[in-house]
Chains A and B, each alone.
Chain A
Amino acid sequence: MKIRQISVFLENRKGRLYEVCSLLGQAGINIRALTIAETESFGVLRMVVNKPDEAISLFRKHNITANLTDVVAVEVPDRPGGLAEVLKVLSDGNINVEYMYAFVEKFSEKALLVFRFDDPSGAHRVLTSAGVTVLTEKDLPNL
């Protein structure tokens, strides 16, 4: 039910994002979803890739600080108000969203979003009982 996200610590330096992404590219690791959060001095790159274990060891080898976090991938109807419906389910269930972002590609008629919750198991329970589809790593095509 959970998906592993890789988070990378980055200094705000020109070309740094490119360096990290091309490192993954050279190793044949595909980025499926990605977002960056930043402050004036540093940023955190979060992504879902097809080979998380390989990505982590690659980063360790290159002295790049990274870790794995459990996130939840949720199918959201791709129409006006689709996201709002899912957020309402979470809010009614008292689930706090730390952050969220979208997958790069579309797999179906529905949009796929990555959610980071402080309580991923609780979130999963609330979502599934409301009939929202939650995907596992295996469910993601080409992952």
Chain B
Amino acid sequence: MIWNEKIETMPLEDLKNLQSDRLVKLVRYVYDRCPVYRKKFEEAGVSPSDIRSIDDIAKLPFTTKLDMRDNYPYGLFSAPREEVVEIHVSSGTTGNPTLVGYTREDIKLWSEVMARALCCAGAKPDDIIQIAYGYGLFTGGLGFHYGALEMGLTIIPTSSGQTKRQLKIMQDFQPRILACTPSYCLYMAEEAKEMGLDPRKGSWRIGIFGAEPWSEAIRKEIEETWNMTATDIYGLSEIIGPGVSQECTYKEGLHLFSDVFYPEIIDPETGKHVPEGQDGELVITTLTKQAIPLIRYRTRDIVSMTTAPCRCGRTSPRTSKIKGRTDDMIVVRGINVFPSQIEHVLLGIEGTHPHYQLVIDRQAHKLDEVEIMVEVDERIFSDEIKQMRALEQKIKKEIEAVLSIGVKVKLVEPKTIQRSEGKAKRVVDKRVL
């Protein structure tokens, strides 16, 4: 079922017109109401009259996490505090936390996009949902709550933690839908087994998982362990919380609700748009938000995006799962390289997830060299040299195809890659830049 048939299956041309109308209004709105944005526009030499359609969006300056922190608490608000009905705060590892606020209309928007997300994952109006995301300052729990309420589901707001009780509630009420982080879902399986329960006999058939990156391998594990369909949801509190994008049951990318959250994929170094299908940083403009509308917000998440129609009938663009963070990016011979790209290639080979390390070096007057060390474990080891060479070549070719630069691949023994706090160190940059 599609929650908002008219919007979600809108022909692309109509969608573009809607986005254009909304952007023009938005730019005028923030310019008039938010001194911080007015100043940013003036510094970028752009005025609201320069923005006539969605194609003009690239003329606008970016907004970053730093802008949010520097203008803490209310600097980026475009609505007066009295009109704000809810506030969430996320803890920052450095400096000020990030504050987000919602007007009554913003809460309606959040309910709408979350209802779309729930339907997208396969929810039906008579379903019971167990919401095991944290309720409170974290946006996960309440975001799901508003969407489920909008849809008219029966909500069990268990919040996170108290695993034994979560499992008892599942047995007692038989909810078909579970919403929580993927790692918590797997943790609950362990706990269930310890309690003598067979997870496959549990009631959850649809899982909506997010708030942390997770791989296809984890999806497979969850689906097999719990006998459920595991779908991915994406969101960030600066934009709205959960509900920015969601996988439909075909699981071929996350539908991004672009009538309200306009996406761009850029090269994080140059800020320019990348061609469709290429990896880049996701940038979002909140087209209709009131309290803290954000113009071209840099999510720092790396994805690729397609506008090709989906089998489910929705016309919204679809992004890949998050492939990495711009914070991890390294530039080699002018090419942006994300360790997660290597991870994807390795995951695709024999379905394994070996430890790896990227070593970047530069000899005097020579090009940067990239060597990828891959630990050989039993799953990829063969007694035949030609098989091992073929594996080495396959890894090399696939990584070169993804990165568009030549690399060396070196197969190494287990535990030879340095680890810090149990985690393998992914990148060693030996270049003297």
Interface residues in chain A, defined as those with a beta carbon under 8 Å from any beta carbon in chain B: 5, 7, 9-11, 37-39, 41-42, 44, 46, 63-67, 69, 98-99, 116
Contacts and interface: CB of A to CB of B under 8 A. Distances in A.
Given A63-B415, A65-B378, A66-B378, A41 B410 contact: yes
B414 A64 contact: yes
Nearest to A59: B378
Contact of A64 (B382, B384, B412, B413): B413
Contacts of A42: 376, 388, 411-412
Given A44-B385, A46-B383, A98-B384, A67 B411 contact: no
A11 B411 CA distance: 8
Contacts of B388: 9, 39, 42, 44
A63 B414 contact: yes
Contacts, number: 52
B173 interface: no
A87 B371 CA distance: 42
A44 B376 CA distance: 12
Contacts of B381: 7, 9, 65-67
Interface in B364-387: 376-378, 381-385
A47 B249 CA distance: 50
A9 B413 contact: yes
Contacts of A10: 413
Contacts of A11: 411-413, 416
Contacts of B413: 9-11, 63-65
22 contacts: A5-B383, A7-B383, A9-B381, A9-B411, A10-B413, A11-B411, A11-B413, A37-B385, A38-B385, A39-B389, A41-B410, A42-B376, A42-B388, A42-B411, A46-B383, A64-B413, A64-B414, A65-B376, A65-B381, A65-B413, A66-B381, A98-B384
A95 to B, nearest CB: 16
Q: Considering the complex of A and B, which 3 residue pairs feature the smallest CB-CB distances, nearest first?
A: A7-B383, A63-B414, A37-B385
Contacts of A39: 385, 388-389
Interface string B262-285: 000000000000000000000000
Contacts of A63: 413-415
Given A5-B383, A11-B416, A44-B388, A65 B410 contact: no
A99 B413 CA distance: 23
Contacts of B377: 65
